[in-house]
Amino acid sequence: MLCRSQAGDFQRAAKASTAAGGDLLVACTQESRLFLELNEQTVGAPSISERPIRFVNLRETGGWSKDAAKATPKMAALLALAQLPDAAPVPTVSYRSQGRALLIGSPERAGRAAEMLADKLDLSLLIQGPGQLPQQRSLPVFAGEDVQVRGWLGAFEVSWSQNNAIDLDLCTRCNACIDACPESAIDFSYQVDISRCSSHRDCVKACAAAGAIDFDRPPQTRSETFDLVLDLSDLPLIDLHQPPQGYFHAPDDARLMKAVLQMRDAVGEFEKPKFFNYKQKLCAHSRNEQIGCSACIDVCSAQAIRSDASRKGKPGGAALAGIVVEPHLCVGCGACTTVCPSGAISYATPSADAQGQRIRTLLNTYARAGGKDAALLIHSQAAGAQLIGALGRAARTEAGVHGVPARVLPIDAWHTASMGMELWLSALAYGAANVWVLMTEEEAPAYRDAVKAQMAVAQAILSGLGFKGQHLTLIEARSAQELDAALQAPAGQTVAQAASFRVLADKRATLELCLEHWMSQAQQLPEELPLPEQGSPFGSLSVDAERCSMCLSCVSACPAGALADNPDKLQLRLIEKNCVQCGLCASTCPEQAISLVPRLLLADGGRTRKQMQVLNEVEPFCCVRCAKPFASPKAIELMLAKLGAHPMFQGAGARRLQMCADCRVVDLHSNPNEVRITDL
């Protein structure tokens, strides 16, 4: 009741915060408006522009729970989290909309939507199917099929095929064609129904003055640009879980009204954060037009990421190809950063190190306040926060509802898929017993699958090191009751000593810090841990020595510097710590001699995986003329098989395939009467 009976306490705190020189923290979110008004009415209190007021919810997350009496450590942790400074600002992405909108749908629905938007937007109609167009020609009207929509707010490109005999640009809607048609094949949509038309062509004569009807006109593909698109069809033209900003699908009246309200405010300049950072040199997607890892492309529900595997004619050539992320389409889900094995694409709002600082502060404060077996609950700032609030209210008002347990520490994210394995393992290393990720209906199915796969890898590591219990869980809940049941899961075994390292901006570096700490606390330390095939960022390679020609093309393809040759010996070597399991080596290998082996090598306390290992070694083939080593035996074998039937390498010339380049030239010129390549 601070907001009512103790409002004076807030006013005194507001005045005191000036001298203290810090932010003012209020443990109530429901009455934030009241507190802001009180602050402005308090004489001597600085304005919020001079001193921000922070709000944190302790009621639904801790106070309204059957564990309220034990929630003091949690409250201390949530208060400490709320006092952290805001994350550093990031670059923004700009949109500019002048309000040019296209309404796609039946004449009746498009006309109805136009009535609600005409006073705010510059409208055009693209009608689909029969119906009645407005008689007055107040708006540009198109008709067509095979409609394609691409782009985003302020930059949509819409194309369609126009193959009806009536051109609506020329049609004056005089209705002469409707009156003249004996088959009633033309209605007030002013389009010819070919299934009913019997080719009398009386309509053409009636429209002679306007010339809008031409049955001999070839089909045309038209394209126009728009700032906004309202799709009124039953099935969306952009069928994505995360459609681009500026595109609205409204198949029913409820969604139409919501879309209309949003579109009326969608004129002007807008900004959003640039959610990601991308380092091409770390990207394991492609090298030399060979595809390796495509995890980010596969998981993106907004289709904001595309391959740039072929870079012929571009600066850097194909050798430096990677991915292209369109920031205008990116919705900030962060799933790409979670599945990226190399850390080439990272989340920026906030960055991993800033998010790690939040997690560390939360868990360390909870432990210092006497809390045990903390469970970190990662939830979204939208639907996830609403569901947790609903659980708190249900615990207050409904019998049998427990509420958020005292050991469960909620932490918000713009999107739950943006926090991945390096943050989960760090949280557990800091002393958490569980890391739970709450997903509601707002997350795409691809995100759920990706998070589950990453959790399976992390859990396999923890279980393999001897830690008992289920530490990582994806909670899928649609109601407060479902969430309430999920939060009663038992605690996993915690580390004996909490880690002191900080989460770094580099994903792989953080993962290495996590592994070192977990191995130091391990209950058991096997030689190696097999990991799930899907999503593992750790592993080795298996080389089929019978097929490998030691061409070493895999070495040049490796983006992580995991593979290397030996200048002194014919060897293929690997530093397993660097391998990200992208598969570029396997797709590049001309003999298909390489396969991935997802695992975590723990031999010698994990030091072996940091050292150079020999995957394949052969004695070099020596030139039959000068005895100089110059190739692998397998390479010579393959060359003999491929070129042995060539006229140049018949008889004595066959020995040239077993000679080094220098000796081959000498031998060729010492036998001038033999067939040469230039003679063929």
The CATH number that applies at residue 314 is 3.30.70.20
Which positions ≥6 away from 235 have C-beta within 8 Å? 251
Select the more confidently predicted residue: 367 or 62.
367
pLDDT in tens, 179-202: 999 999 998 889 999 889 988 899
Q: Mind giving me the DSSP string for 435-485?
A: EEEEE-TTS-HHHHHHHHHHHHHHHHHHHHTT--S--EEEEE-SSHHHHHH
Measured CA distances, 402 to 56, 384, 394, 438, 439 (Å):
21, 18, 8, 17, 20
pLDDT for 257 equals 96
512, 431: one domain: yes
Residue type, 30: Q
In the chain, % of residues over pLDDT 90? 70
What range does the domain containing 315 cover? 279-347
Domain boundary among 595, 617, 639: 617
64, 100: one domain: no
Strand 571-575 with 563-565, pairing: antiparallel
pLDDT grade, residue 320 (50/70/90)?
A: low
pLDDT for 305 equals 97
- In the DSSP assignment, the letter for residue 433 is S
246: exposed, middle or buried (Cβ count in 10 Å: 0-12, 13-18, 19+): buried
In the chain, % of residues over pLDDT 70? 95
* Alpha-carbon gap, residue 230 to 568, rounded angstroms: 66
pLDDT in tens, 491-519: 999 999 999 999 999 999 999 999 999 99
Strand 92-97 with 156-162, pairing: unpaired
Tell me what the mean pLDDT of segment 275-290 comes to: 92
pLDDT for 678 equals 47
Tell me what the mean pLDDT of segment 666-671 comes to: 78
Domain boundary among 617, 645, 667: 617
489, 440: one domain: yes
Tell me what the mean pLDDT of segment 349-353 comes to: 94
391, 505: one domain: yes
- In the DSSP assignment, the letter for residue 653 is G
CATH of the domain at 553: 3.30.70.3270
* Alpha-carbon gap, residue 577 to 539, rounded angstroms: 8
pLDDT grade, residue 1 (50/70/90)?
A: low
Structural domain count, the chain: 6
Taking 50 as the threshold, does the pLDDT of residue 175 lie above it?
A: yes
pLDDT for 680 equals 40
pLDDT for 318 equals 46
pLDDT grade, residue 313 (50/70/90)?
A: very low
* Alpha-carbon gap, residue 545 to 479, rounded angstroms: 56
107, 164: one domain: yes
Site of tokens 């304005």: 47
665, 556: one domain: no
Domain boundary among 347, 381, 397: 347
451, 532: one domain: no
48, 61: one domain: no
487, 426: one domain: yes
Taking 50 as the threshold, does the pLDDT of residue 374 lie above it?
A: yes
Segment of 33-42, 87-96, 160-169, 366-375 carrying the highest mean pLDDT:
366-375
pLDDT for 133 equals 83
Tell me what the mean pLDDT of segment 397-426 comes to: 96
355, 497: one domain: yes
539: exposed, middle or buried (Cβ count in 10 Å: 0-12, 13-18, 19+): buried
| Whether 635 contacts 618, CB under 8 Å | no
| DSSP bridge partners of 547 | none
Q: Mind giving me the DSSP string for 369-400?
A: TT--S-EEEEEETTHHHHHHHHHHHHHHHSTT
* Alpha-carbon gap, residue 424 to 416, rounded angstroms: 12
pLDDT in tens, 240-252: 999 999 999 999 9
478, 542: one domain: no
pLDDT grade, residue 674 (50/70/90)?
A: low
Measured CA distances, 13 to 28, 29, 44, 338 (Å):
15, 17, 11, 42
Taking 50 as the threshold, does the pLDDT of residue 309 lie above it?
A: yes
237, 286: one domain: no
| Whether 525 contacts 605, CB under 8 Å | yes
Average pLDDT in the chain: 91
Tell me what the mean pLDDT of segment 456-475 comes to: 97
Tell me what the mean pLDDT of segment 277-296 comes to: 92
